[in-house]
Chains A and B, each alone.
Chain A
Amino acid sequence: MSEHEYTPKSKVGKWFNDRLPLLTLANHLTDYPTPKNLNYWWTFGGILTFCLITQIVTGLVLAMHYIAHADMAFQSVEHIMRDVNYGWLIRYIHANGASMFFLAVYIHIFRSLFYGSYKSPREVIWIIGIIIYLLMMAAAFLGYVLPWGQMSFWGATVITNLFSAIPLVGEGIVTWLWGGYSVDNPTLTRFFTLHYLIPFLILGLVVLHIWALHVPGNNNPIGIDIKKPSKDTVPFHPYIVIKDGFALLMFMIVFAFFVFYTPNILGHADNYIEANPLVTPAHIVPEWYLLPFYAILRSVPDKLLGVIAMLSAILILAALPWLDTSKIRSAVFRPLYKQFYWILVADVLILGYVGAMPAEGLYLLIARIATAYYFLHFLVVLPVLGFKERTTPVPLSITEPILGGSPNLAAVKKKDSFKDQ
Chain B
Amino acid sequence: MKNFFRISFLIALFFGFQFNSNAAEKAEYLKTDWSFKGPFGKFDRAALQRGYQVYQEVCSSCHSMKYLSYRNLVEEGGPEFSVEQAKAIAASFEVKDGPNADGEMFMRPGRLSDKFVMPYENEKAAQAANGGAYPPDMTVLVKARGGGVDYIYSLLQGYEDPPAGVTLDDGVYYNKYMYGNKIKMSNQLSDGLVEYSDGTNASVEQMAKDVTTFLMWTAEPHLETRHKMGFKAIVYLIILTVLVYFSMKRIWSRIETKV
Partner-B contacts on A (CB < 8 A): 36-37, 39-41, 75, 78-79, 81-82, 88-89, 92, 103, 234, 238-239, 242-243, 245-246, 249-250, 252-253, 256-257, 259-261, 263-265, 269-270, 272-274, 282, 288, 349, 352-353, 356-357
The answer to whether A243 and B21 touch across the interface, beta carbons within 8 angstroms, is no
* Surface stretch bound by A, among B52-60, B85-93, B153-161, B236-244: B236-244
Tell me the dominant secondary structure on chain B's binding face.
helix
Contact between A242 and B4 (Cβ–Cβ < 8 Å)? Answer: no
Most buried by B among A246, A253, A274: A246
A272: chain B residues within 8 A (beta carbon) = 140, 143-144, 219
Residue from B14, B227, B244 having most chain A Cβ neighbours under 10 A: B244
Task: Say which residue of B14, B237, B248, B257 sits within 8 Å of A256 (CB atoms).
Answer: B237
Using an 8 Å CB-CB cutoff, how does the interface string of B203-247 with A read, 1 for contact, 0 for none? 000000000000000010110001101110110011011001101
Report 8 cross-chain contacts, Cβ distance below 8 Å, ordered by A residue: A78-B140, A81-B222, A245-B244, A249-B237, A250-B241, A260-B39, A263-B226, A353-B17
A79 to B19, CA, bound (A): 28
B-side contacts of A261, CB under 8 Å: 39, 227, 230
**Chain A residues in 8 Å Cβ range of B179:** 282
Q: How many A-B residue pairs have CB under 8 A?
A: 100
B237 pairs with A89, CB closer than 8 A:
no
Enumerate chain A residues within 8 angstroms of B240, measured Cβ to Cβ. Answer: 249
* Given A88-B222, A260-B233, residue A265 in contact with residue B19 (CB < 8 A): yes
Q: Which residues of B contact A252 (CB under 8 A)?
A: 237
Q: Is the CB of B229 within 8 A of A37?
A: no
A89 to B226, CA, bound (A): 8
Q: Which residues of A contact B107 (CB under 8 A)?
A: none
Cα A263 to Cα B222 in complex, Å, equals: 12
A269-B244 contact given A256-B234, A260-B234, CB 8 Å threshold:
no
Q: Whole-angstrom distance from the CB of A101 to the nearest CB of chain B?
A: 15
- The answer to whether A242 touches B238, judged by C-beta atoms less than 8 angstroms apart, is no
Chain A residues within an 8 Å CB radius of B3: 39
Report the minimum CB–CB distance from A300 to chain B (whole Å): 23
Question: How far is A280 from B115 in the complex, measured between Cα atoms in Å?
Answer: 29
A339 CB, min distance to chain B CBs, angstroms: 16
| Partner pick for A273 among B136, B227, B237, CB 8 A cutoff | B136
The reply to whether A75 and B245 form a contact with Cβ atoms under 8 Å apart is no
